[in-house]
Structure 1
């Protein structure tokens, strides 16, 4: 697996679009939505197309970018 970047959250959960913005992968909610809609985001190894998907500590999110795959772990 690629290097995993831990992303700490303050609450019990975070929505996928918020995580992408918080981690600096998306500049805005619209950018996060477009990225998720493109099919380039995996949650738990499966394509996720819902920007509002709830994520909890321990969830893995993989994002395909032009520079390679980025893997985030919710902490």
Structure 2
């Protein structure tokens, strides 16, 4: 499993933007498509809200990629 640490710069980052900023996908639109497909989980639960607010301490998984969000 590939693990990525993402340093949060504000209070939160939108889920589709997190996927783009970490290089998991090429664009925010591609991130939205992945979320809509139901293949992205936040803290172990499938997340279908494309612009869900992701905060420090949360873990996002997509396939074999795990993203740790640091504060």
1:11-44 Cα deviation digits (max 9, x unpaired): 0111101100000011112101111111110001
The alignment partner of 1:7 has SS state of strand
| 1:55 aligns to 2:54 (yes or no) | yes
* Count of matched residue positions in the alignment of Structure 1 and Structure 2: 70
Query: TM-score w.r.t. structure 1 length?
Result: 0.86
Query: TM-score w.r.t. structure 2 length?
Result: 0.91
**Runs of 5+ unmatched residues, structure 2:** none
Cross-structure match for 1:72 = 67
Where does structure 1 differ by over 6 angstroms across 4 or more consecutive aligned residues? Answer: none
